[in-house]
A and B are shown apart, each in its own frame.
Chain A
Amino acid sequence: MRQAPRANGDRDGGPAAELAVQGPGPAAVTIAGLTAGGPALLVFVSEHCPTSALALRRLGPLCPAWARAGLTTIAIFEDPLDVAIRTARRLGWAGQVAGQDPPYPASRAYRLSTVPTAVLVGRGGLLAGRVAGWDQRALAALLGEAGTQLDTELAVPSAAGPLTKPGCSSKAALDPELAAAMSAPDGTDDLEEMFERGWTDGLPVIPPTAERVEAMLGGRDADESLGLVPPAMGEATLARVAACAVLAGCRPAYFPVVAAAARAALDPAFNLHGQAVTTQPAGQLIVVNGPVREEIGLNSGMGALGPGFRANLTIGRAVRLLVSLTGGAMPGAMDRATLGQMGKLGFCVAEDEEGSPWEPLHVERGFAAGQSVVTVIGSDAPQSISDHRSRTPEDLAYVLAWAAASAWSTNWWPLEEPSVFVICPEHAEMFRGAGWTKQRLRRFMFDAVHKPAGELRRGETTPAVHAAAPDAVVPKWAAPEAIVLLVAGGEAGRYSAVLGPCTGMGSQIVSREVESRA
């Protein structure tokens, strides 16, 4: 008859040492508490030890059945409690969890040399055996002992997989300096490296390895210059533009759009210099038109101004990284924005040309409908305009236009620079149904918003208002052309938006065609 395997730990029957560990709850973890309802199985483990991971994976799923039979289980990590909880959850451990810090007093009290080590503490807090490393048969014997104390048969880990596996050295058995060195960060975290180099806008970035930048360039000339990026006048070589695109999380397919936006933003007529350093919250709105929208997955539908779409978010972010890193306009340094706005992380919008009743922005600006074009506009953050009640295009146009009356500042009339209205599909449909052209809507909105100069002389106002007679009528915009109309957004919901301008920049709207390799 084959002899039943014995546990390979001691069975001296002496009292179990008290535990000095941190559990997740407010109550102290004690031997008395763990053995109040029957025996307890203490499983000493370490996050970095593969054999500990094996033990937690193999024993963890059995914990609930053992608990119902009266055996309490606890995994005691030689790691901080948060690491212990995260690791235990990841490995499917369903028993209790505790952590301990250097010098690992619980491991020392149990004279551990190896993790994992399973220690059975019987009724009355007496040691009933231990198993070091992974030893399936020895553990089965240990659980047999626990079952004997409970007068039942406990489930044991299956004989599948390795039956034995040596453990790792317990940190309690290591020289303290070595243990501390093992616990310290290893310094090879490349995401943290990016923060240390300052290659970030404050969010994690994709490290621009030579391989990734090469893939982004797609064979283009890395040394080709798109110009100097203000305010520090760093040279925007294609390699640096590609590095920013990698950092931002772009796919290589987005790069032609990023490069076109960079070319547009660096046109002196755009005055990126002024926008980059101003105390205003000025951001660079990027509008994309043409076939490239569909080719690279730009969103012009639901949530068109919000999160959720990689192409929109990363293209805008790449251009902003070019401004803040290559151009040196980091907030608090050369970027002197008093408050800033979230659009300065990046703001890329695609127009819903298919859902629009009007010619798209790039056609208005002289391009063919089949061309892919990027347009940059210096702008403030979007302000939502709700209108679910208008039943005539006149009422709706009035509401949209007057929502922008406080753009830039309440009494700053007229605005020379463009206000960008993003018209949602339901609003656009009302204008389509009434046969309104874009030009008619723009003219109506321009005519709708005007006030006598005398009502605008409070707080900040313009020299033109100061110079005008009190009853002279002043429009909100200097010309109808300062009203830019786009269509984008989800099919349901009557929320359009207006983005106010950055002023005093002499900034013009600039468009560039996206390079096509077809």
Chain B
Amino acid sequence: MPDYVSPFDERVRPAEPLAPRPADVAGQRVVLLDIRKNRGAEFLDRVETLLTAAGATTARVTKEIFSKPAALSLIDEIARGGGLVVEALAD
């Protein structure tokens, strides 16, 4: 077998475990992330109405542009908020 140089980055990254899921949204803080895809805000408006009716408090955040990863400062902001996140992904 010849000695090949791999084009892949072979490093293995351990999977992050999922955070525990609450049994109920009542009393939870839910961050609604709008990635700026077309009509994503309409979808989040409807979700926000339902969450509020279910007793959750909500906060809206927005990515700079849908086609780029979220800025680290935005991810920090979401993480500091705690609770849950709903992301409106695609149109």
Contacts and interface: CB of A to CB of B under 8 A. Distances in A.
Interface in A190-235: 190, 199, 207-210, 213, 230, 232-235
Nearest to B3: A210
- Interface class of chain B by DSSP: loop
B5 A234 contact: no
B9 A243 contact: no
A209 B7 contact: no
A322 interface: yes
B2 interface: yes
Nearest to A199: B7
Interface string B30-73: 00000000000000000000000000000000001111110000
B7 A208 contact: yes
A326 B7 contact: yes
Interface in B1-36: 2-9, 11
Contacts of A210: 2-5
A271 interface: yes
Contacts of A140: none
A326 B8 contact: yes
Contacts of A199: 6-8
A505 B5 CA distance: 33
Which interface class (under 10, 10 to 19, 20 to 34, 35 or more) fits B?
10 to 19
A268 to B, nearest CB: 8
Contact of B7 (A240, A271, A273): A240
Which interface class (under 10, 10 to 19, 20 to 34, 35 or more) fits A?
20 to 34
Interface in A237-254: 239-240, 242-244, 246-247
A234 B68 contact: no
A321 interface: yes
Nearest to A280: B67
B7 to A, nearest CB: 4
A325 B2 contact: no
Contacts, number: 65
Nearest to A507: B67
Contacts of A209: 2-5
A297 interface: no
B41 to A, nearest CB: 12
Contact of A504 (B3, B4, B11, B67): B67
B67 A247 contact: no
Contacts of A505: 65, 67
A271 B68 contact: yes
A232 B7 CA distance: 13
A243 B9 CA distance: 12
A164 to B, nearest CB: 39
B5 A278 contact: no
A506 interface: yes
Contacts of A242: 5
A199 B2 CA distance: 15
Interface string A305-345: 00000000000000001100110000000000000000000
A116 interface: no
- Give 4 closest A-B pairs by Cβ, nearest first: A274-B67, A234-B9, A325-B7, A213-B5
21 contacts: A190-B2, A207-B2, A209-B3, A210-B3, A230-B69, A233-B9, A235-B11, A240-B5, A240-B6, A240-B7, A240-B8, A242-B5, A243-B4, A243-B5, A243-B6, A247-B7, A274-B65, A274-B68, A321-B7, A506-B64, A506-B67
Interface of B: 2-9, 11, 64-69
